[in-house]
């Protein structure tokens, strides 16, 4: 039964290579004639799921609706692992939470999940579940091992037929210590580093960086060369989306990412940066990036998110006696997100070969806003410069509906063993607990589809086959 509970989540529609892509004109619909299906109220989107997948999703989402479980999931999983042992714990998680949110452990399992997504018109954005925070640094050997894992992710993303324009996610703190990123953030606030300095370091030059001691310079050079190897392997093959993290290190992460863009994004957006719209400064940062891309002559890829570190950022700001960097309310964040999205869509409509954006959001209103603006601006829904993204195992009613309507949709797809992915799953659950606790609509749609099938089975007088193949998405 476990083998039939592999994720059946939407796969992202392919984006054509930026260097060969041309802007296409489409008939512009009137705003009030937007497809009624984008109300995301139709449970038929879930007809592509097997019985087992429906029941698993309903069970997992029901558990996620309890704040006490989500807020304490790390402790609860630790207790369960102690009581059940490593093997017993794995047997518990694999067909449930793991199968809902993780693609698999090895390439065979991952391929099975990705092929199923491909049949649904969706594409994977593979994510190696490796990251570090302050106090978790592990040394150059571990960072080199992480680099090899990232290079393997590039290889898998490119060599398989899951996507004609594959994407993957990358966390810089898997390759460069958080402590150094924090120090760099402090240093560049006083005196910004020249991007050319970092590019020269990526090319192998022995550069000395102001403000860093000898060991820090050595580690920074190693980190930049690791990133350079990944970028060299991915350019013209896989688009690398660099994740944002905490505000106390984000400026350093952006500095490194912009240097990678300067070197590798001359003819296409192969390296992307992430902008967290729950931050008050997010619009300013995006506008600065657009200006820098224009000045330095590189293409800009933008992953637009609301953000996932809200509680920690606010508590840290309060503890340090500085203003909260987070918008004061959800509505302000929505305004920030939609406004930044409009800025990028305007640029895409004018120069689709130079700018790209992934609308990475579970928010239905923002998705509809993006669709509306795309139609108003004449941006082709599958032209390559605009796509949508959601997490594997969540928001399938949005992902599947968008794919059915012909939009490019990616799923963020973590993979690895239960042991490797557990810290990642715990962090994502705690960071996204508001989203997890607010998935009532998706749960209701899943329940409606389940009841529809039960009524149909009853009318036919047949029994339930949990391994039954899903219906096609038509």
Q: Are 381 and 40 in contact (CB under 8 A)?
A: no
3-state SS class at 118: helix
Q: Which of 15-24, 253-262, 338-347 has the lowest mean pLDDT?
A: 15-24
Residue 219 backbone dihedrals phi, psi, to 5 degrees: -70, -40
| pLDDT above 50: residue 6 | no
Q: Read off the pLDDT of residues 395-445 as tens digits, 9 standing for 90 and up.
A: 999 999 999 999 999 999 999 998 888 887 777 676 666 666 557 888 999
Q: Are 272 and 211 in contact (CB under 8 A)?
A: no
Beta bridge partners of 304: 275, 359
- What is the structure's pLDDT at 34? 56
| Residue 410 to residues 7, 9, 268, 360, 398, Cα–Cα distance (Å) | 14, 10, 19, 9, 11
The span from the CA of 453 to the CA of 447, in Å, is: 10
| pLDDT above 60: residue 466 | no
Instruction: With cut-offs at 50, 70 and 90, classify the pLDDT of residue 299.
Output: very high
The span from the CA of 29 to the CA of 33, in Å, is: 6
Cα 269 versus chain centre, distance: 17
In percent, how much of the chain has pLDDT > 70? Answer: 86
Q: Are 210 and 185 in contact (CB under 8 A)?
A: no
The span from the CA of 204 to the CA of 80, in Å, is: 48
Indicate left, alpha or beta for 336 from its phi (over 0: left) and psi (-120 to 50: alpha). alpha
Q: Is residue 82 situated within a structural domain?
A: no
| pLDDT above 70: residue 163 | yes
**111-147 b/e (C-beta count within 10 Å ≥ 16 → b):** bebbebbbebbbbbbbbbbbbbeeeebeeeeebeebb
Total length of the chain: 474
Task: DSSP for 276-320, please give it.
Answer: ETTBTTHHHHHHHHHHHHHHHT--EEEEEE--S-HHHHHHHHHHH
Among 132, 77, 147, 100, which residue's Cα sits nearest to residue 2?
Answer: 100
Residue 408's Cβ-count burial label (10 Å; 0-12, 13-18, 19+) is buried
Q: Is residue 469 situated within a structural domain?
A: no
CA 261, 267, 272, 273: dihedral to nearest 10 degrees? 50
Residue 448's Cβ-count burial label (10 Å; 0-12, 13-18, 19+) is middle
Domain with 169, as residue range(s), is 104-417
Higher pLDDT: 163 or 432? It is: 163
Number of independent structural domains in the chain = 1
Report the half-sphere exposure of 178 (CA within 13 A, side-chain side): 16
User: Which helix (H) or strand (E) segment is 239 a member of?
Assistant: strand 239-242
The span from the CA of 390 to the CA of 125, in Å, is: 10
Q: Is residue 58 situated within a structural domain?
A: no
- What is the structure's pLDDT at 470? 56
- What is the structure's pLDDT at 465? 62
| pLDDT above 50: residue 28 | no
Q: Is residue 318 situated within a structural domain?
A: yes
Q: Is residue 280 situated within a structural domain?
A: yes
Instruction: Return the residue matching tokens 């120069």.
Output: 351
Beta bridge partners of 242: 170
| pLDDT above 80: residue 26 | no
| Maximum average pLDDT range among 97-106, 109-118, 285-294 | 285-294
Q: Is residue 34 situated within a structural domain?
A: no
3-state SS class at 12: coil
CATH code of residue 117: 3.20.20.220
Q: Is residue 32 situated within a structural domain?
A: no
What integer best gives the mean pLDDT of the chain? 86
**Once rounded to an integer, what is the mean pLDDT over residues 379-399?**
92
Instruction: With cut-offs at 50, 70 and 90, classify the pLDDT of residue 467.
Output: low
Q: Are 238 and 272 in contact (CB under 8 A)?
A: no
Q: Are 245 and 166 in contact (CB under 8 A)?
A: no
- What is the structure's pLDDT at 461? 74
Q: Are 466 and 4 in contact (CB under 8 A)?
A: yes
Instruction: With cut-offs at 50, 70 and 90, classify the pLDDT of residue 135.
Output: low
Instruction: Return the residue matching tokens 């509306």.
Output: 372
- What is the structure's pLDDT at 71? 81
Cα 338 versus chain centre, distance: 18
Q: Is residue 387 situated within a structural domain?
A: yes
| pLDDT above 70: residue 474 | no
| pLDDT above 70: residue 323 | yes
Instruction: With cut-offs at 50, 70 and 90, classify the pLDDT of residue 349.
Output: very high
Instruction: With cut-offs at 50, 70 and 90, classify the pLDDT of residue 388.
Output: very high
Higher pLDDT: 461 or 290? It is: 290
Instruction: With cut-offs at 50, 70 and 90, classify the pLDDT of residue 29.
Output: very low
- What is the structure's pLDDT at 13? 31
| Maximum average pLDDT range among 157-161, 223-227, 439-443 | 223-227
The span from the CA of 264 to the CA of 90, in Å, is: 41
| pLDDT above 90: residue 14 | no
The span from the CA of 273 to the CA of 149, in Å, is: 20
The span from the CA of 338 to the CA of 364, in Å, is: 12
3-state SS class at 8: coil
Q: What is the CA radius of gyration of the chain?
A: 22
- What is the structure's pLDDT at 53? 92
């Amino acid at each position: 039964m476990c083998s039939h509970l592999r994720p059946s989540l939407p796969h992202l529609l392919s984006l054509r290579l930026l260097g060969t892509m041309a802007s296409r004109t489409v008939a512009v619909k009137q705003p009030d004639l937007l497809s009624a299906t984008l109300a995301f109220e139709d449970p038929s989107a879930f007809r592509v799921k097997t019985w087992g997948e429906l029941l698993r999703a309903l069970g997992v989402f029901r558990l996620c609706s309890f704040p006490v479980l989500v807020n304490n999931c790390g402790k609860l999983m630790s207790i369960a692992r102690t009581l059940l042992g490593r093997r017993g714990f794995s047997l518990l998680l694999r067909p449930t939470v793991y199968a809902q949110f993780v693609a698999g452990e090895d390439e065979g399992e991952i391929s099975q999940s990705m092929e199923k997504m491909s049949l649904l018109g969706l594409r994977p954005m593979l994510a190696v579940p490796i990251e570090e925070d302050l106090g978790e640094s592990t040394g150059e050997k571990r960072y080199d091992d992480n680099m090899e894992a990232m290079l393997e992710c590039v290889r898998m993303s490119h060599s398989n037929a899951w996507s004609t324009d594959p994407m993957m996610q990358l966390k810089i703190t898997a390759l460069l210590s958080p402590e150094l990123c924090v120090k760099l953030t402090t240093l560049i606030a006083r005196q910004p580093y020249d991007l050319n300095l970092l590019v020269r370091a990526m090319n192998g030059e022995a550069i000395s960086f102001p403000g860093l001691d000898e060991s820090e310079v050595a580690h920074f050079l190693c980190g930049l060369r690791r990133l350079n190897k990944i970028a060299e392997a991915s350019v013209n093959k896989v688009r690398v989306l660099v994740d944002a993290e905490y505000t106390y290190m984000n400026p350093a992460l952006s500095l490194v990412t912009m240097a990678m863009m300067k070197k590798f994004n001359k003819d296409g957006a192969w390296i992307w940066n992430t902008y967290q719209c729950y931050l008050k400064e997010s619009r300013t940062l995006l506008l600065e990036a657009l200006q820098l891309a224009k000045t330095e002559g590189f293409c800009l890829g933008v992953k637009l998110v609301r953000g996932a570190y809200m509680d920690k950022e606010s508590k840290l700001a309060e503890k340090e006696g500085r203003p909260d960097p987070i918008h004061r309310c959800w509505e302000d964040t929505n305004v920030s997100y939609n406004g930044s999205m409009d800025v990028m869509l305007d640029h895409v409509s004018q120069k689709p070969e130079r700018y790209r954006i992934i609308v990475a959001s579970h928010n239905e209103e923002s998705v509809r806003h993006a669709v509306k603006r795309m139609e108003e601006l004449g941006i082709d829904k599958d032209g390559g410069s605009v796509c949508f993204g959601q997490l594997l195992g969540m928001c399938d009613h949005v992902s599947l509906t968008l794919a059915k309507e012909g939009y490019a949709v990616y799923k963020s797809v973590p993979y690895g063993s239960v042991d490797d992915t557990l810290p990642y799953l715990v962090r994502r659950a705690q960071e996204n607990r508001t989203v997890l606790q607010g998935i009532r609509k998706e749960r209701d749609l899943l329940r409606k589809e389940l009841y529809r099938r039960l009524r149909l089975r009853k009318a036919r007088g047949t029994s339930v086959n949990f391994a039954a193949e899903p219906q096609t998405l038509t």
